[in-house]
Chain A
Amino acid sequence: MNKRLLFSLLLFFGCSLSMLAQDRRITGKVVSAVDGSPLPGVSVQVKGTNKGTSTDATGSYAINVPSGKASIEVRSVGFLTQSFEVGSQSVINISLVESDNSLGEVVVVGYGTQKKTNLTGNVAQINAKAIENLPVLTTEQAIQGRAAGVFVESGNGKVGQGIKMRIRGASSVSAGNEPLYVIDGIPMTSNFTTNSPNPLADINFNDVESIDISKDASAAAIYGARGSNGVVQITTKRGKAGKTNFSLNYFTGTSEPTGRRQFLNTAQYVELFKEARANAGFSLAGGETRFTRYAVGERARWADPTSPNYTNTVWEDQVLRKGSINQLDLSINGGTDKTKFYASGSYSKQDGIIVKNAFERLSTRLNLDHKATDKLTIGVNASLARTLNTRLSNDNAFSTPMQIIALAPMSPVIDPRTGDFTDTYNGADVTQYYNPLVSIANTNNTTEVYRTIGNVYGQWNILPALSFRTEYGFDMLLRNDDQYNGKKTVRNSVNAGNGEAIKSVANTYNFNTNSFFTYNQVFDQKHDLNAVLGMSYQQSDRTAIDAVGRQLPSDSYKTIASAATKADANSFERRFTFLSYFSRVNYKFDNKYLIGLSGRVDGSSRFGANNRYGFFPSASVGWILSEESFIKDIRQISLLKIRGSYGFTGNAEIANFPSLGLYTAEGYAGTPGQRQFQLENPDLKWEKTAQTDIGLEVGLFNNRLSFEVDYYSKYTTDLLLDVNVPGTSGFSRQLKNVGELENKGWEFIVRTDNKFGDLTWRASINAATNKNKILNLQGQVITGGFLNRAVEGQPLSVFVGPEYAGVDPANGDALYYLNTTKADGSFDKTKTNDVNQAAFVPIGNPNPLWIGGITNDFSYKGIDLSVTFQGVYGNDVYNGAGKFMSANGDFYDNQTLDQLNRWRKPGDITNVPQARYVGGNGTAESSRYLEDASYTRLKTVTLGYAFPKSITDKLKLSRLRIYATANNLLTFTKYTGWDPEVNTDYLTGVAAGNDFYSAPQPKTITVGLNLGF
């Protein structure tokens, strides 16, 4: 299309050309700035006239410039438009810089690629240029804020931990909502740990060439039963023929928490708790005894500010620290026309912002393509990674570092009586809760993963139009978890009195074959046909074994081998399989009209015998209006396209045997036993999502400015729902196909590419809104988290609970709205101090209304500046720990500073109830602990400088760039917790948007170097 458009533009200019005398002839060659290859078909125009030409096959051009005209303008789709002063030159050689504008680019679709212009579906592409040299360790960090409609959330600031990705909202209640990850055509194992998986942690981000996210049905239906949550296709870099290029990248940096939270100091603590005890009728002496106990038996530590021992420990500072991040990466690519290769090695190490939290990765990759004959290409991709994560307990453990903030400020870090961390003394508890520092000092908790992902392929070009490709892929994951709880941790780990060693080994072998034919033919220059037909089989086997040993001679012995008691052992063995047949046909007529059809038949072992196979078709159409004669002549419009798609995808992310009636072994006191634990459901089948997508793409001024707007509606039926069954049956839940939900939304993208002299400016803005609503659960109410629910008429995971109504000025009681429904249907807003009288009503939504990002890239000569803002708007976060840390002195947990605003005397107007020790005054789960967690964040800002050729040539380098980057530098939010981007790591199911002693996100500043030679 582009050539044709250019041709017509030229024709248009040519017709109005008026020849003038005294022309000067300028010649030259246009090449790509990336690899120096000649660029044919580039428009070269005399600025301020209609006079122009285009380059030939060798990239050469010749143009007559009338006298008095100072410059020429060079433009081509996919490249930045540039102008050049003619001056006295007669030869102007031009190297064109590729544009970030992706309209002319190729996107990865399942089992093939398509030009973006020909696409009838919606695929968000994050290409190499957008993320090149971004100093992040894992891929999802590069996606956040850069793809419309893709919500990425990292639940906390622990390194190497889980992520949450939602593409166009959540389509399921009980089945998985994470997208399918496909790397170089092979579905990855993405759910391999019991604790917060990050499937992308084992992939070296610098090996990633592009990320293509299939969002609508026509793009995702080729992945059929697994496409409902979208498909993230990661393509790794491949070799290019020519000179062998070495690229060395290094960066180093430091990180610190994005936020802190303030807690009471010793004087405030003493004041509040004395008051709380007095208000509840408890003796003063009892409280003072308690304070002295916390103060390692020394009253002066809390009572006498003049004492040298007076203690005021800021516990938060004991677990938050300055972290560090380092990565060294070397890649080599090159080859001949016959054999091309890409090889890389990378080492990274990250020390988290929380004590004893680290992540280390060593990875290598080799991607090889070899043309065996004219017709046969074979190749291999293989990556091997070893990651080592020094882990922390989940958020709901006394041993997790952030729970340290519950400790009283009068306790010193070190108890002088023991010389060790303040925790217990002579067997008796000193601190109210276990001190996590004891675990930091006395436990090991590591996860080591060896992962090999790769595939071998052969592609046979049977006929010029017909090819056959077969791929055999594997994702092998060996995981070792090692934990040792030292003797001193016994207060926390009840069985660690003489040491406890725990080890588990889990292996996941995931094999996949794809075999498919591709047919590509243009008939009569008007009929462009592209078809794919093939099959795929996947088998995933997981085995695990774990064992526990106790009674070790000393803390120097840390393994089960040394344990006198081999206390427990367990094993696990599971398999699932998928067998699929798929086809896709794309037809383009006259460069204007596009039709796409695709279908997939999927069978899976996970489903009931009666419904083993599902069929997932899709259809899509597109119309490139800018090719129509009535628009073609409008010079300003370079692209105008509308497209629409409708189709079905499925969701199979459930346990492996939910359709079977099962017994499980449950012994008692050494006697073997069993019991029924799952009811059978032979009718269990896929969850099906029907999705409609309508999109408009506009490119203006030679695509200098482009827009993309999409509206979609996803309607999911036969939800795979963990249905609550009456507990009297002996069962609590059963997986059934029940219910419907929908996601509707808009996505907007604006891009602009500009060049003003030596300054280029590219901007990309994306924004998306998604509205999720559960339509039907057959009356089921599924609860999760603290107040999350799945309930009809509301978005998934809506917060439902009593509505807090503040404090009674008369007596300091916490009040709640009754919110019972009155006869006229309105809520009764009468206030009550009995939370049990308050109806449970929707009080908030953890799902953002809007998500988006803005990226601005500037470059001027060698200097580049990139600024990305990312934000979410309209979501709430529930602080599940509010009842402990912001409980107006309900119990001895140290309190957030705002609790000093508690009600004290009649007439006080405040939102914090009267302090009452163990009085439960306002501590019930309610909207008191719910907050708006919208935020905007300066996600990345990078300033770089590439040394000019004159210097790099002297150094015998092809490239030398230095840069500094800041991640999460600024966060704008009203959320009062540590960080608004939060989702505690211990809750699952419908739980969402919960903060529970969750570590804040890191704010990272790095400096780095890119070397090419």
Chain B
Amino acid sequence: MKINNKFIYAVAFSLILSSCANKLDVKPVDDVDAISAVKTSSDVEAILTGAYDSMTDGDVLGGNMQRDAELMADNGDVEWAGTFVAPGEIFEKSMLRDNNQAEATWLDSYRTINTANTVLANLGVVDAAKKSRFEGEAKLIRAWMHFELVRIYAKTFQDGNAASNLGVPIMTIPTAKITDASFVKRNTVAEVYQAVIADLTSAESLLPAKNGFFANKATAAALLSRVYLMQGNYDAARQAAHRVISSGNYTLTETFDLAFNNRTNSTEDIFATQGTDQDFVNELNTFFASSEYQGRGDIYVNEQHLNSYDVSDERGNFFYESGDIFTAKWARRIGNIPLIRLAEMYLTRAEGNLRAGGTPIGTTPLADINRLRERAGAKLYTTMDLATILKERRFELAFEGHWIHDIKRNRQTITKRNGNGTRTWTFNSPKLIFPIPLRETDANKNLVQNEGYQ
């Protein structure tokens, strides 16, 4: 075989000298760079949807926040039988600094806030007709996350001086790069509440009354009622709850069970996560449902809780047996998680009316409470007092993530059998507050750790 020398030279040199440099400019296919990602109104709308997705993540409102509020408050109503270390520590009220749930909840909540802040920073490209709504939704999401964070990682509002107690950092600007300004300090509890109220108040005025399954005016008002209740501002709480009730857009489901395990919002859902086959998590199902209902069966219900209901109360029968006893609220794997139900608004209005005194707004506390009891088939009351309202909250809202917050704001003490004696935790026990995640205090020396975790 005769090989042409010139040919080989040509091949060799073309291989060596050919300009391959542009081959190094490889762009990702599955993801998009920041500049092309945010150009139009619909790009910003997509980020807003991304914020909802982030907020309903499993470690946020997709279930773990609610689960942890129940576990931490537990007084023997339930048993933790799972192998996951982090919720086990929460249940035992002996969290360690490196509890990975404390870390995940923190990270995912702030990721949600940053996404909401990205929407707010890019309102300039949004179509005029949508601008107020986007702004309102983003502010609501940001406020909701700040509110949950301050409740989880800081002393409760009514414990000592909120103006000096450390809350959580308030974030209002999206992060483009890490700078010195990223190493934030904790704001005070009062500052966080102030920011949350400002955002929610603004959101309530910006949002439309109806907005599909996304947040609307009533969602903002309902959240405000929760915030005011935590502050002990009963007048503002009842007014906010009343605004939701009087909007006329929501009605209680005919029976109690119809409020749960739905694939579309029930008539009383003010806000619920949406169950879809793709990319959906329902961690309440994961932990509270038995394997028969696709859960891990990690949290089962004890007699102590079952016996607390009225015999005729349907809510006391909303349990099933599958080896152990489980709540039926989270029996559907791909089912919406109601985050705010109308029933809560009745409870809040009743409590606000009772505690604020004066002329009741809307109706009397007795009427509001009996409305819920009537639906559940429970014995109706003839008189009303605070203890009864608080008990009713538990009957109605058990396993929905309210318990620890109700205990804290009502300065209740958790008493739990331990061995042959009992253990107690007062409402302000540092054991009932999450540690600032070890990862965060390592990464940001400006963050002061909570009492008991230093």
Chain A: residues with CB nearer than 8 A to chain B? 279-281, 293, 372-373, 375-376, 424, 427-430, 432-434, 460, 468, 470, 490-491, 494-495, 497, 513, 515, 534-535, 537, 539, 565, 567-568, 571-577, 579, 603-605, 612, 656-657, 660-680, 724-732, 734, 779-781, 783, 835-836, 883-884, 891, 918, 920, 924
Q: Which residues of B contact A574 (CB under 8 A)?
A: 28-30
Proximity bits, B426-454, A CB within 8 Å = 1, else 0: 00000000000111101111010000110
Query: B12 near A470 (CB under 8 angstroms)?
Result: yes
Q: Which residues of B contact A427 (CB under 8 A)?
A: 290, 292, 322
Query: A680 near B34 (CB under 8 angstroms)?
Result: yes
Q: Which residues of B contact A661 (CB under 8 A)?
A: 33-34, 176
30 contacts between A and B (CB under 8 A): A281-B418, A372-B1, A424-B292, A490-B294, A494-B286, A515-B15, A568-B277, A577-B23, A579-B24, A663-B33, A665-B46, A668-B49, A668-B50, A670-B278, A672-B46, A674-B32, A675-B50, A676-B118, A724-B439, A725-B178, A725-B443, A727-B107, A727-B111, A729-B175, A730-B114, A732-B107, A836-B96, A836-B452, A836-B453, A891-B83
New A-B contacts (4) at CB < 8 Å, excluding given A577-B26, A661-B176, A663-B33: A494-B333, A666-B49, A724-B442, A729-B175
Q: How far is B418's CA from A279's CA once the two chains are assembled, in angstroms?
A: 10
Of chain B, the residue at the smallest CB distance from A431 is: B323
Query: A884 near B83 (CB under 8 angstroms)?
Result: yes
Proximity bits, B46-82, A CB within 8 Å = 1, else 0: 1111111110100000000000000000000000110
Q: Which residues of B contact A835 (CB under 8 A)?
A: 96
Is B37's beta carbon under 8 Å from chain A? yes
Q: Which residues of B contact A537 (CB under 8 A)?
A: 20, 23
Q: Which residues of A contact B453 (CB under 8 A)?
A: 836
Query: B20 near A669 (CB under 8 angstroms)?
Result: no
Query: B292 near A662 (CB under 8 angstroms)?
Result: no
> Which residues of chain B from 96 to 140 have a CB within 8 Å of any chain A CB?
96-98, 103, 106-107, 110-111, 113-115, 117-118
Query: B94 near A372 (CB under 8 angstroms)?
Result: no
Query: A573 near B29 (CB under 8 angstroms)?
Result: yes
Is B385's beta carbon under 8 Å from chain A? no
Place the interface of chain B in its size category. Answer: 35 or more
Proximity bits, B268-281, A CB within 8 Å = 1, else 0: 00000010111110
B283 to chain A minimum Cβ distance, whole angstroms, is: 12
Query: A429 near B323 (CB under 8 angstroms)?
Result: yes
Q: Which residues of B contact A539 (CB under 8 A)?
A: 23
Query: B92 near A672 (CB under 8 angstroms)?
Result: no
Query: B177 near A679 (CB under 8 angstroms)?
Result: yes
Query: B278 near A515 (CB under 8 angstroms)?
Result: no
Is B311's beta carbon under 8 Å from chain A? no
Q: A579-B24, A728-B444 are in contact. Are A662 and B178 (CB under 8 A)?
A: no
Q: Which residues of B contact A573 (CB under 8 A)?
A: 29-30
Is B381's beta carbon under 8 Å from chain A? no
Query: B174 near A730 (CB under 8 angstroms)?
Result: yes
Q: How far is B83's CA from A884's CA once the two chains are assembled, in angstroms?
A: 8
Query: A729 near B274 (CB under 8 angstroms)?
Result: no
Query: A675 near B20 (CB under 8 angstroms)?
Result: no
The one of B15, B183, B297 that contacts A470, using a Cβ cutoff of 8 Å = B15
The one of B85, B110, B286, B417 that contacts A730, using a Cβ cutoff of 8 Å = B110
Q: A494-B294, A603-B21, A729-B110 are in contact. Are A673 and B175 (CB under 8 A)?
A: no
Query: B442 near A781 (CB under 8 angstroms)?
Result: yes
A818 to chain B minimum Cβ distance, whole angstroms, is: 13
Query: A668 near B53 (CB under 8 angstroms)?
Result: yes
Q: Which residues of A contact B3 (CB under 8 A)?
A: 372-373, 375-376, 460
B421 to chain A minimum Cβ distance, whole angstroms, is: 8
Q: A281-B418, A728-B169 are in contact. Are A673 and B46 (CB under 8 A)?
A: yes
Q: How far is B53's CA from A667's CA once the two chains are assembled, in angstroms?
A: 7
Is B307's beta carbon under 8 Å from chain A? no
Query: A673 near B52 (CB under 8 angstroms)?
Result: yes
Q: Which residues of B contact A657 (CB under 8 A)?
A: 26, 28, 31
Q: How far is B321's CA from A293's CA once the two chains are assembled, in angstroms?
A: 14
Q: Which residues of A contact B279 (CB under 8 A)?
A: 666-668
- Determine which residue in B94, B322, B323 has the highest number of CB atoms from chain A within 10 A of its CB, and name it: B323
Query: B115 near A727 (CB under 8 angstroms)?
Result: no
Q: Which residues of A contact B290 (CB under 8 A)?
A: 427-429
Is B318's beta carbon under 8 Å from chain A? no
Q: Which residues of A contact B52 (CB under 8 A)?
A: 668-669, 671, 673
A408 to chain B minimum Cβ distance, whole angstroms, is: 14
B89 to chain A minimum Cβ distance, whole angstroms, is: 8
Is B419's beta carbon under 8 Å from chain A? yes
B97 to chain A minimum Cβ distance, whole angstroms, is: 7
Query: B33 near A662 (CB under 8 angstroms)?
Result: yes
Is B247's beta carbon under 8 Å from chain A? no
B326 to chain A minimum Cβ distance, whole angstroms, is: 10
- Determine which residue in A279, A430, A671, A884 has the highest number of CB atoms from chain B within 10 A of its CB, and name it: A671
Q: Which residues of B contact A495 (CB under 8 A)?
A: 294, 333
B245 to chain A minimum Cβ distance, whole angstroms, is: 26
Query: A726 near B182 (CB under 8 angstroms)?
Result: yes
Query: A676 near B114 (CB under 8 angstroms)?
Result: yes
Q: Which 6 A-B pairs give the minimum distances between C-beta atoms? A: A730-B114, A673-B49, A669-B274, A675-B50, A663-B37, A281-B419
Q: Which residues of B contact A728 (CB under 8 A)?
A: 110, 169, 171, 182, 184, 440, 444
Q: Which residues of B contact A373 (CB under 8 A)?
A: 1-3
Query: A434 near B50 (CB under 8 angstroms)?
Result: no
Proximity bits, B288-307, A CB within 8 Å = 1, else 0: 00111011010000000000
B307 to chain A minimum Cβ distance, whole angstroms, is: 16
The one of A662, A680, A734 that contacts B32, using a Cβ cutoff of 8 Å = A662
Is B359's beta carbon under 8 Å from chain A? no
Q: How far is B24's CA from A731's CA once the two chains are assembled, in angstroms?
A: 27
Of chain A, the residue at the smallest CB distance from B115 is: A675
Q: Which residues of A contact B171 (CB under 8 A)?
A: 728-730
Q: How far is B294's CA from A490's CA once the two chains are assembled, in angstroms?
A: 7
Of chain A, the residue at the smallest CB distance from B186 is: A728
Q: How far is B43's CA from A680's CA once the two chains are assembled, in angstroms?
A: 19
Query: B278 near A429 (CB under 8 angstroms)?
Result: no
Query: B278 near A727 (CB under 8 angstroms)?
Result: no
